[in-house]
């Protein structure tokens, strides 16, 4: 990416390092901050809008407490809402005044679009209004009111909030279903779920017969699953006249939704927000993390009460920032109010997550470091300050690499405005944009690109094929993905042997569609049963689904690395993960053991949960679970059967070259294979930081590629290789290994008949 935002993204990996050095300057910096705080109510204006000012030497401690006293009176409205009873809170939400309008609109129309600011009560209230109006019983049959969320955390946290509101336990009257976790029962009237779950349900129940109402929430996020559901539910509603579909959105693109759903009515929930002052950085910030932490501290020591919300891009960044900030705050002294530091991201356990909704105690301030999840999916009351570095981590399909990668990318203008809006819910707020006004105007796109237009569609297309939808070009997408992306996905599925030459689903493809995961993983699981190593592969797949396994505290890096080295497997990282899990199991799944070995306890617990769920799926579809004992070659072969496309060969010049695209990639330093000369490897993902790194890498035997992926790699007779092909650099891949001097090339494209 060009421009200053792009440059900052490139610097991502260096940031943490820089932040450590930053810590050394700590004491000095905080002295300076204290001094600043004595001078003005808004010391940040120095950084953002006005000119640098001179510092005045003074008895800072005393002045700060005086200043704090003077701030108390300014906060009359703070925390008011949290003193209300649940019923009063419900009635105070903007959507409450629309209750009758909403119920009437749903009674009279099959499709309704509802627009309202984040926090107006759409997600928590509308389903309750419909439940109270009798939508759980249609023609003497119990029906569920369903509500989809793009994110699992949102589904879980909202279900627990609404359970509390209706006075029942989660999983009873109000429940949720997310991948690998189902908390519903036959009593469940209101069910929150991820859009992916409902998409999956459509496989078996295309007309959604269990539901009376389905609310597609957060439609503005335009996830692939929601986009697919638009089309599926439009179709379902035709054959199921009792089904009601509600589409809700936090932004004003409602016309488009309404047009798609046969020009259905649009209801607007009036917003109730306060003005938010926007402050831009004067110069591009080279280090957005350090800038964000500085900003938080400055707000804390100098601004009136009110919680702070900081948008970061991912778990690691958030965990690091929480840690560093906690360290820095220690140096601020006792005269400063307590700062409660809380992380929020999807993989966080719900107990910790629920803490963000607890009211802030007196004489303290909360600062919440959140991923994009806090942009619209969850609402935290009491936020007066938003710190927005302007980035988000998105899953994007890189057509050059031919695969999905997680990239940190600048947000769109509409996202920036959503973020700043978070500061104006309880009172007038401030948003600190850590980018320049010109970056906002010239470098950010006005709107976010729908996921379906930027991501790999293999999994989606596999599901659509399994639903019997073969005419993909004619599928009723609101914004159709490009033909290129579709063809690419079809090709992927073909090379995985999920589709046949004609483009129809194979038996293997049908089996793969049963698994709620990317096709390569699904295939690995299925093949592992055949190879006799499903017990091991189940563990590895479960471990791959959790984020960080190894824990490396800054003050104990050596010890942590030493412990980690005991688990490293000489054949690669997948087997290292297997080692960790097995040792943990041998030690009675103990938390103490995790602590001693510098391993994230909660990651392993989650892997255990995921594994259980996977076992259920495997058993349900009768894939035997067998262990290969010590013959771990089988495990590597099974991985190769799914991930052959992620294969690369060592390059004599530098790093590795992917076999499929001939892209230069590097071994990640965290890999057990780092620094070793291994010829052929497969990797789980590519990570783009300063370089393109292969993450989670395992050695393979090159012969397996031909054997396990005959539709992808094929031997060719070099004498028949045309001049043109040579020029296109489709060079023989495995000359060296092929006994009969044949070479391999990418096989021909599948025919893409519908």
Question: What is the contact surface with Mg ion in residues (CB under 5 A)?
Answer: 123
Q: 44 and 299 in contact (C-beta within 8 Å)?
A: yes
Q: Between 123 and 702, whose beta carbon lies closer to Mg ion?
A: 123
Q: Between 258 and 379, whose beta carbon lies closer to ligand CDP?
A: 379
- The site partner of 157 among ligand CDP, Mg ion, none (C-beta below 5 to 8 Å per kind) is ligand CDP
Q: Between 120 and 603, whose beta carbon lies closer to ligand CDP?
A: 120
CA 463 from chain centre, in angstroms, equals 21
Nearest to 115 by CA among 275, 311, 256, 277: 256
> CB 353 → ligand CDP: shortest distance, Å?
9
Sign of CA dihedral 639, 641, 645, 651: positive
- The site partner of 281 among ligand CDP, Mg ion, none (C-beta below 5 to 8 Å per kind) is none
Q: How far is CA 316 from CA 38, 312, 689, in A?
A: 34, 10, 14
- The site partner of 379 among Mg ion, ligand CDP, none (C-beta below 5 to 8 Å per kind) is ligand CDP
> CB 366 → ligand CDP: shortest distance, Å?
14
Query: Residue 594 phi/psi, 5° resolution?
Result: -60, -45
Q: Between 426 and 603, whose beta carbon lies closer to Mg ion?
A: 426
Q: For 163-203, where are the E strands, in sequence order?
A: 174-178, 181-183, 190-194
CA within 13 Å, CB half, 13: 11
Q: Between 5 and 374, whose beta carbon lies closer to Mg ion?
A: 374
- The site partner of 381 among ligand CDP, Mg ion, none (C-beta below 5 to 8 Å per kind) is ligand CDP
Distance CA 348, CA 546 (A): 11
> CB 251 → ligand CDP: shortest distance, Å?
12
Q: Between 120 and 495, whose beta carbon lies closer to ligand CDP?
A: 120
> CB 96 → ligand CDP: shortest distance, Å?
10
Strand partners, 215: 147, 246
> CB 394 → ligand CDP: shortest distance, Å?
21
Distance CA 533, CA 230 (A): 39
Distance CA 158, CA 164 (A): 10
The pair of three-digit structure tokens given for residue 311, joined into one six-digit string: 């948008």
User: What is the signed CA dihedral for 210, 215, 217, 221, rounded to 10 degrees?
Assistant: 80
> CB 347 → ligand CDP: shortest distance, Å?
17
Q: How far is CA 440 from CA 370, 434, 446, 451, in A?
A: 21, 10, 9, 22
CA 508 from chain centre, in angstroms, equals 29
**Residue number closest to Mg ion, CB atom:** 123
Q: Between 120 and 212, whose beta carbon lies closer to ligand CDP?
A: 120
> CB 248 → ligand CDP: shortest distance, Å?
7
Q: For 360-496, where are the E strands, in sequence order?
A: 364-370, 383-388, 391-398, 403-410, 429-433
> CB 164 → ligand CDP: shortest distance, Å?
8
Interior CA angle at 73 toward 70 and 77, to 5°? 145
Q: Between 123 and 313, whose beta carbon lies closer to Mg ion?
A: 123
Provide CB contacts within 8 A for 417, sequence distance 6+.
Answer: none
- The site partner of 93 among Mg ion, ligand CDP, none (C-beta below 5 to 8 Å per kind) is ligand CDP
> CB 270 → ligand CDP: shortest distance, Å?
12
Q: Between 119 and 343, whose beta carbon lies closer to ligand CDP?
A: 119
Query: Residue 567 phi/psi, 5° resolution?
Result: -95, -15
Distance CA 219, CA 150 (A): 8
Q: Between 128 and 448, whose beta carbon lies closer to ligand CDP?
A: 128
> CB 379 → ligand CDP: shortest distance, Å?
4
Nearest to 18 by CA among 291, 372, 243: 291
> CB 273 → ligand CDP: shortest distance, Å?
12
What does the binding site for ligand CDP look like in residue numbers (CB under 6 A)?
93, 116, 118-125, 157-158, 161, 357, 378-379, 381
> CB 80 → ligand CDP: shortest distance, Å?
12
> What 3-state class would DSSP assign to 664?
strand
Q: Between 43 and 121, whose beta carbon lies closer to ligand CDP?
A: 121
- The site partner of 687 among ligand CDP, Mg ion, none (C-beta below 5 to 8 Å per kind) is none
> What 3-state class would DSSP assign to 514?
coil
> CB 12 → Mg ion: shortest distance, Å?
30
Q: Between 158 and 190, whose beta carbon lies closer to ligand CDP?
A: 158
Q: Between 272 and 695, whose beta carbon lies closer to Mg ion?
A: 272
- The site partner of 121 among ligand CDP, Mg ion, none (C-beta below 5 to 8 Å per kind) is ligand CDP
The string of DSSP codes covering 598-622 is TB-HHHHHHHHHHHHHHHHHHHHTT
- The site partner of 357 among ligand CDP, Mg ion, none (C-beta below 5 to 8 Å per kind) is ligand CDP
- The site partner of 671 among Mg ion, ligand CDP, none (C-beta below 5 to 8 Å per kind) is none
Sheet containing 211-216, strands listed edge to edge, beginning at the edge strand earlier in sequence: 181-183, 174-178, 190-194, 144-149, 211-216, 244-249, 111-116, 266-269
Tokens 């998105």, located at residue = 394
Q: Between 91 and 661, whose beta carbon lies closer to ligand CDP?
A: 91
> CB 396 → ligand CDP: shortest distance, Å?
26
> CB 603 → ligand CDP: shortest distance, Å?
24
Q: Between 113 and 291, whose beta carbon lies closer to Mg ion?
A: 113
- The site partner of 320 among Mg ion, ligand CDP, none (C-beta below 5 to 8 Å per kind) is none
- The site partner of 119 among ligand CDP, Mg ion, none (C-beta below 5 to 8 Å per kind) is ligand CDP
CA 475 from chain centre, in angstroms, equals 27
Q: Between 267 and 336, whose beta carbon lies closer to ligand CDP?
A: 267
The pair of three-digit structure tokens given for residue 559, joined into one six-digit string: 């010890």
The string of DSSP codes covering 88-148 is HHHHHSGGGGGHHHHHHHHHH-SEEEEEE-TTSSHHHHHHHHHHHTTTTEETTEE-EEEEE
> What 3-state class would DSSP assign to 746?
strand
Distance CA 508, CA 510 (A): 5
Strand partners, 405: 396
524 backbone φψ class: left, alpha, beta (φ>0; ψ -120 to 50): alpha
CA 358 from chain centre, in angstroms, equals 24
Q: Between 5 and 348, whose beta carbon lies closer to ligand CDP?
A: 348
> What 3-state class would DSSP assign to 12?
helix
- The site partner of 147 among ligand CDP, Mg ion, none (C-beta below 5 to 8 Å per kind) is none
Strand partners, 664: 657
> CB 267 → Mg ion: shortest distance, Å?
15
Alpha helices in 532-632 (DSSP H): 534-544, 557-565, 573-586, 591-596, 601-620
> CB 129 → ligand CDP: shortest distance, Å?
12
């Amino acid at each position: 990416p060009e421009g200053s935002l792009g440059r900052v993204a490139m610097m991502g990996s260096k940031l943490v390092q820089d932040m450590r050095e930053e810590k050394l300057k700590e004491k000095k910096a905080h002295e300076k901050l204290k001094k600043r705080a004595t001078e003005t109510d808004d010391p940040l204006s120095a950084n953002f809008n006005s000119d640098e000012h001179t510092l005045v030497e003074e008895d800072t401690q005393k002045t700060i407490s005086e200043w704090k006293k003077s701030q108390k009176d300014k906060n009359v409205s703070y925390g008011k809402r949290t003193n209300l009873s649940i019923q009063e809170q419900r009635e105070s939400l903007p959507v409450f005044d629309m209750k009758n309008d909403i119920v009437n609109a749903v009674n009279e129309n099959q499709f309704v679009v509802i627009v309202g600011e984040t926090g107006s009560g759409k997600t928590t209230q509308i389903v309750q209004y419909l439940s109270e109006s009798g939508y759980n019983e249609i023609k003497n049959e119990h029906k569920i009111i369903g509500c989809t969320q793009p994110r699992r955390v949102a589904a879980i946290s909202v279900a627990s909030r609404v359970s509390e509101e209706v006075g029942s336990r989660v999983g009873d009257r109000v429940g949720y279903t997310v991948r690998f976790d189902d908390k519903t029962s036959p009593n469940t009237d209101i069910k929150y779920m991820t859009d992916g779950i409902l998409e999956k349900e459509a496989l078996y129940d295309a007309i959604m017969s269990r539901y009376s109402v389905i609310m597609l929430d957060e439609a503005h996020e335009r996830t692939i699953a929601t986009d697919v559901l638009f089309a599926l539910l439009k179709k379902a509603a035709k054959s199921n006249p009792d089904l009601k579909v509600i589409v809700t959105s936090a932004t004003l693109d409602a016309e488009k939704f309404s047009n798609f759903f046969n020009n259905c009515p649009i209801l607007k929930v009036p917003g109730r927000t306060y003005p938010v002052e926007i402050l831009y950085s004067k110069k591009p910030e080279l280090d957005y993390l350090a800038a964000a932490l500085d900003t938080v501290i400055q707000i804390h020591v100098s601004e009136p009460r009110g919680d702070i919300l900081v948008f970061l891009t991912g778990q690691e960044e958030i965990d690091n920032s929480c840690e560093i900030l906690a360290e820095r705050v220690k140096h601020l002294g006792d005269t400063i109010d307590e700062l409660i530091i809380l992380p929020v991201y999807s993989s966080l356990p719900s107990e910790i997550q629920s803490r963000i909704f607890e009211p802030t105690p007196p004489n303290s301030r909360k600062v919440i470091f959140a991923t994009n999840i806090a942009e619209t999916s969850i609402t935290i009351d009491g936020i007066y300050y938003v710190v927005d570095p302007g980035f988000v981590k998105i899953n994007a399909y890189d057509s050059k690499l031919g695969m999905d990668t997680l990239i940190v990318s600048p947000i769109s203008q509409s996202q920036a405005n959503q973020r700043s809006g978070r500061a104006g819910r309880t009172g007038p707020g401030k948003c600190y944009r850590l980018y320049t006004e010109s970056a906002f105007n010239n470098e950010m796109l006005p709107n976010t690109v729908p996921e379906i237009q930027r991501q790999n569609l293999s999994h989606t297309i596999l599901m659509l094929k399994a639903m019997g939808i073969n005419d993909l070009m004619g599928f009723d997408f609101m914004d159709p993905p490009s033909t290129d992306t579709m063809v690419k996905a079809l090709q992927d599925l073909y090379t995985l042997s999920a589709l046949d030459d004609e483009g129809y689903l194979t038996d293997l493809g049908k089996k793969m569609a049963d698994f709620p995961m990317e096709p390569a993983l699904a295939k690995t699981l299925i093949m592992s049963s055949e190879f006799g190593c499903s017990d091991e592969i189940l563990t590895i797949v479960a471990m791959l689904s959790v984020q960080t396994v190894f824990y490396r505290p800054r003050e104990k890096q050596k010890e942590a690395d030493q412990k980690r080295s005991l688990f490293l497997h000489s054949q690669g990282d997948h087997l290292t993960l297997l080692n960790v899990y097995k040792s943990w199991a041998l030690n009675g799944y103990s938390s103490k053991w995790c602590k001693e070995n510098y391993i994230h306890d909660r990651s392993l617990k989650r892997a255990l949960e995921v594994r259980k769920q996977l076992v259920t799926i495997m058993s349900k579809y009768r894939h035997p679970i067998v262990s290969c004992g010590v013959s771990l070659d089988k495990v590597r072969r099974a991985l190769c059967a799914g991930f052959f496309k992620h294969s690369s060969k060592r390059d004599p010049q530098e790093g590795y070259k992917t076999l499929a695209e001939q892209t230069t990639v590097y071994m990640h330093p965290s890999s057990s294979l780092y620094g070793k000369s291994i010829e052929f490897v497969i990797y789980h993902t590519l990570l783009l930081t300063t370089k393109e790194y292969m993450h989670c890498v395992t050695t393979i035997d090159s012969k397996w590629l031909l054997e396990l992926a005959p539709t992808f790699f094929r031997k060719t007779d070099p004498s028949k290789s045309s001049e043109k092909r040579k020029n296109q650099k489709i060079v023989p891949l495995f000359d060296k290994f092929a006994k009969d001097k044949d070479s391999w090339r990418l096989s021909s494209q599948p025919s893409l008949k519908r």
